[in-house]
Every structure is written in C-alpha cells, then in structure tokens.
Amino acid sequence: MQGLLNWILWLPIIGMVAVLIVPKEKANVIRWVSLVTTLVTFLLTLVLYKGFDLSLPGIQPNTAFSVPWIKDFHINYSLGIDGISLPMIILTGLLFFLCTMSSWTIEKSVKAYFALLLFLQSTVFGVFMSLDFFLFYVYWEVMLLPMFFLIGIWGGENREYAAIKFFLYTFFGSIFMLIGIIALFYVSGKGPASFNIMALAGGHFVNETITLFGHTLSFERVFFWFMFLGFAIKVPIFPFHTWLPHAHVQAPTAVSVILAGVLLKMGSYGFLRISFPIFPAATVYYSNWIAILGLISILYGAFCAMAQDDVKKLVAYSSVSHMGFVMMGMAAMTTMGMNGAVLQMFNHGTSTAMMFLMIGVLYERSHHRWIVKPDGTKGYGGLYTQLPRYTVIFIIAMFASLGLPGLSGFISEALIFLGVFGKYQSIAVVGVLGLLIGAAYLLWMFKRMFFGEPSEEVKEYEDMNAREVFYMLPLCVAVVVFGIYPTPILDIMRASVGSLVTLLGKFAV
C-alpha cells in the first residue's frame, strides 16, 4: 500500500509520456492509451478506498509516503490522504475517466490534448494528496499550465481572453497564498515542521503577532485573509467569481467538467486542509463573514444563472451558487454542516459534471448553446420529443442539481441547512431562497429547451449514441445511489471532519 499514492499520482504522467511517444497520425491509439490510463488510475483510487480505515481521523498511515526533497529547508515530498481528500481523489479518478471518453470526438491536435489532460489529472491528484505546503503550492500552480493551454487551444471563439483571465486571476490569488506560506515558515521556527501541513495544524499561532505599518496585529487574522484570497478565488466565492463564467463558457466540454467537478473543490478543500486547521482561531473569529459571503454567492449566483441565455453560462453560475452552499456549511462549524459541505463537494462534482457533459453532447449536435438566441428566437425547443434518451438523463442531472429528495444534491443541502440553522438562523432562512431560485432557473431552462414545438433544426439532431450513454451511466448511478444511501461517503469523512470540528470547537468563543 505504501506506493499506491505514488502510483495514482504518477500513472497519468506515464500515460502522458506514452501518448507523446505515439505518432501523431495514430489518433485512435492515443485515445485508447489515455482511456486505459485513466481507467486504471480510477480503479487504483477505488483500491485506495478498500484499504481505508474508517475509524482513523487523521492521515491514513498505511498509504502515507514521505521523502526529503530540499533538506536545507525541510521541504518534503510527502503524500497522504484522509477522509476529506479521499472522496475528492475518487471523484477526480472518475471524472477524468469519463472526460476522456467524452473527448473522443476532439479532432484538433489530439496528441497534445490528451497529453495535457493526463498531465492535469496528475497535478490535481498532487493537490489533493500533498501534505507538504511547498509541494501543495507547486501542484496548485502547475495545474494552471495545462488548464491554460486546454482552454486557450481547444476552447470557444473567445478562448484566449478566458484563458488569460483564468490564469491571471488564479495566479493573483496564489501569490498571496505564497506570501502566507513563507510567513508561516518563519513564524513556525524554520524547523522540520515548517512546511508540514499536518504539523502546522492545530492553532499553534494563536498568540503570534505581526507589525504592519506600525500596528500590531494578530498573525492568524492577517494571514487567514492571505490564504483566504488564494482559496476564495478558486472556489469561487463572490466577489472573486468573475473569471469563472468566461472560463467555463469558453472551455471545451471535458475541461468544463474538470473545472466545475474537481478544480473548484480544490478551493474548498484548501479551506478544510489549510486555512481552518492552521488558523482555527481566526476561522472562528471570521466565520460570520465566510457564512455571509457564502450566502451572497448562493443568491447572487442563482440570480445570475436565471438571467443567462447561454445554457453553459447558466450552469457555470449555478456552480457559484452551489459552492456558496459549501462555504456556508463550512462556516457553520458544526458536525452536520461540515459533513454536509464535504458531501456537497462530492455531489456537486457529480451533478455538475453531468450537466456539463449533457450540454457538451447537445453542443456537438447544435454547435451553439443559446436557450434564446441573441436575435430573440428560440435556440432549442422540443428536445423532449426528439431526444428521449437525452431527456431522461438530463432530467436526472437537473433534479440532482436542484436538490430533489431522493437524488444526491438533496442530502448534502439538507445537512448543510441543518448544520447552519443552529448557528446562523437568519442566514439559513435566507439561504433557503437559493434553493427556490435554483429550482426556478433550472425548471425554466428545462421548459424553454425541452418543451414546445421542435424547430426544423432540432428535428435533425440524433439521440445520444451508445458511447455517450455509457459515460453518463456511472454518474447517473452515483447521483441516485448516493441520494438514497449516502452512508459510504459519510463514513469516509466522518472521523476526519469530526476531528476538524473538535479542533475548531476548542477555539470557539
């Protein structure tokens, strides 16, 4: 088991090298190589689940791995998983496998595309596995490179602007995080623990102060915001979300899926792994603000989604709204709210991935994404009669996304509201409006796209083919099964989330 994390982390890189070796002309070989790589990687993440000890709150010792990287600075190459990162790792494995399948129709520079996709997968794993702060930062940043190229080369008509905006925004946030990392390095005494995320955690810096422009301030409270900026841009929390609609709309389908399904979770994962455990007192102190920002994200994202004519943009804004639920649940700092938040991270990963994949399927037929075209005419309409298979799967995706009981979104949102209500009643009450608006924009979108008379154009669309149905099935199963029986995921995270809540509880006023 010791080497398993290394295998998961480096297998996509091996696959990437294999893809690069295959001659350019053999596009199908390239596709199959990447498919097999992602499939094996996914299966390995399931092996990880099999060996997971549900009772342990911290890092699983049987898979943890650490070797020194830069000895002078105590920087280590150290990997490990706990109950918060494992669901994300499994989600990553699954989504990349499905995305490889959905990218089968990519024709432009096939080789570079799949090489970058595999590279991206490795860096995402790196973020979720790193236990060394320096390593974490390196993966966090390296991940931008494949994303930049994937959006910039294979994206829509306005892709260059979107790619640059995405890159600059995230880089801007991470620079603050870097300053925070370095400050932590010095304040923790430059010792062996200074880059070790696990050793830094626990609120050792409560009494540290720093002097800025003549004012003595609490170290925790200042650097909490530095880290916050890095992660909040990634989540994204209002008002740092403006890069997201552009990046989503312009990115190719698979990249949108990865972006919404996995990359946004890196932000909230960063809060859970770094901000909260390392700065617990500041987290408790500022939790009201996080909850309020979460609430604004929920409502603002939902209202923006309602105003969109572009269906992909609509789903992109719905991500802002749904990630707001995650932030709100985390800010509650109750066992229920926190569990709900982590579960929502997973469930949003599956349901949004479904939505984006479905839009991708439709886009391949229509080559536009307008619900209402700019000239005021209907973009689609009557899809229900023309594409029955498509409609059934779309309905599952949509209802999972709006939180219908029985599907996965409901459980996590219910848990979040239960957790939040105990602490912030008014925020919880207003937050429920987000669910209502969510239902409204999704159902309204559904009405405009699927009901009514099909236009001539829509009549020519073919229904989903076997490949498309095949890669949607695992997600359909996931949203249904985890909607009825979420216990397996809750079991994974229970111990880890519990210890985090206990830690934060110690610092509660």
3-state secondary structure 155-172: CCCCHHHHHHHHHHHHHH
State the nearest-atom distance from the C-beta of 507 to other proteins, in Å: 24
Applying CB under 8 A, does 418 fall inside the site for other proteins?
A: no
| C-beta of residue 385 within 8 angstroms of C-beta of residue 454 | yes
Counting Cα atoms < 13 Å in the Cβ hemisphere of 473 gives 8
Burial (CB count within 10 angstroms: exposed 0-12, middle 13-18, buried 19+), residue 337: buried
Among 138-146, 191-199, 397-405, 419-427, the segment contacting other proteins (CB under 8 A): 138-146
Q: How many residues bind other proteins (CB under 8 A)?
A: 34
Torsion, CA 419, CA 421, CA 427, CA 431, rounded to 10: 70
Among 51-59, 151-159, 303-311, 458-466, the segment contacting other proteins (CB under 8 A): 151-159
Q: What angle do CA 36, 42, 45 make, to 5 degrees?
A: 145
Applying CB under 8 A, does 20 fall inside the site for other proteins?
A: no
Whether the ω angle into residue 239 lies within 30 degrees of 0, i.e. cis, is yes
Which of 137/317 has CB closer to other proteins? 137
Which of 19/341 has CB closer to other proteins? 19
Among 19, 86, 94, 163, binds other proteins (CB under 8 A): 163
State the nearest-atom distance from the C-beta of 142 to other proteins, in Å: 6
Applying CB under 8 A, does 186 fall inside the site for other proteins?
A: yes
State the nearest-atom distance from the C-beta of 244 to other proteins, in Å: 18
Bridge partners, residue 370, by sequence: 310
Which of 212/466 has CB closer to other proteins? 212
- Report the amino acid identity of residue 83: G
Q: Tell me which residues in 65-104 interact with other proteins (CB under 8 A).
A: 69-72
Q: What angle do CA 293, 356, 240 make, to 5 degrees?
A: 25
Of the candidates 187, 170, 427, the residue with the CA atom closest to the CA atom of residue 288: 427
State the nearest-atom distance from the C-beta of 29 to other proteins, in Å: 20
Of the candidates 352, 354, 343, 319, the residue with the CA atom closest to the CA atom of residue 86: 343
Among 2, 28, 54, 171, binds other proteins (CB under 8 A): 171
State the nearest-atom distance from the C-beta of 63 to other proteins, in Å: 24
Task: Tell me which long-range contacts 23-26 makes (C-beta under 8 A, separation of at least 24).
Answer: 24/110, 24/111
Query: Which string of x and - marks every residue 197-236 that binds other proteins (by CB under 8 A)?
Result: -------------xxxx-----------------------
Among 51-59, 177-185, 263-271, 287-295, the segment contacting other proteins (CB under 8 A): 177-185
Which of 134/325 has CB closer to other proteins? 134
- Give me Rg for the CA atoms of the chain: 22
Query: Which string of x and - marks every residue 301-340 that binds other proteins (by CB under 8 A)?
Result: ----------------------------------------
State the nearest-atom distance from the C-beta of 164 to other proteins, in Å: 6
User: Beta-strand (E) ranges in 53-116?
Assistant: 65-70, 75-79
Which of 218/408 has CB closer to other proteins? 218
State the nearest-atom distance from the C-beta of 204 to other proteins, in Å: 18
| C-beta of residue 102 within 8 angstroms of C-beta of residue 257 | yes
Applying CB under 8 A, does 13 fall inside the site for other proteins?
A: no
Q: Can you tell me the distance from the alpha carbon of 96 to that of 36, in angstroms, rounded to the nearest whole number?
A: 11
Q: Can you tell me the distance from the alpha carbon of 238 to that of 325, in angstroms, rounded to the nearest whole number?
A: 12
Applying CB under 8 A, does 24 fall inside the site for other proteins?
A: no
Which of 242/377 has CB closer to other proteins? 242
State the nearest-atom distance from the C-beta of 279 to other proteins, in Å: 17
Applying CB under 8 A, does 183 fall inside the site for other proteins?
A: yes
User: Residue 200: enclosing H or E segment and its boundaries?
Assistant: helix 197-200
Which of 55/211 has CB closer to other proteins? 211
State the nearest-atom distance from the C-beta of 155 to other proteins, in Å: 9
Which of 171/451 has CB closer to other proteins? 171
Which of 21/168 has CB closer to other proteins? 168
Among 36-44, 165-173, 340-348, 377-385, the segment contacting other proteins (CB under 8 A): 165-173
Among 83-91, 161-169, 251-259, 279-287, the segment contacting other proteins (CB under 8 A): 161-169
Contacting residues for 423 by C-beta, under 8 A, at least 6 apart: 332, 333, 334, 337
Q: Which CA distances in Å does 112 have to 108, 117, 341, 367, 461?
A: 9, 8, 36, 23, 30
Torsion, CA 178, CA 180, CA 185, CA 189, rounded to 10: 170
Q: Which residues of 268-286 are buried (b: 16+ CB within 10 A; e: fewer)?
A: bbbbbbbbbbbbbbbbbbb
State the nearest-atom distance from the C-beta of 147 to other proteins, in Å: 12
Applying CB under 8 A, does 167 fall inside the site for other proteins?
A: yes
Contacting residues for 244 by C-beta, under 8 A, at least 6 apart: 236, 316, 319, 320
Torsion, CA 259, CA 330, CA 236, CA 42, rounded to 10: -10
State the nearest-atom distance from the C-beta of 171 to other proteins, in Å: 5
Q: Tell me which residues in 118-137 interact with other proteins (CB under 8 A).
A: 137
Give residues in contact with other proteins (CB under 8 A). 69-72, 137-138, 141-142, 144-145, 148-149, 152-153, 159-160, 163-164, 167-168, 171-172, 175-176, 178-179, 182-183, 185-186, 210-213
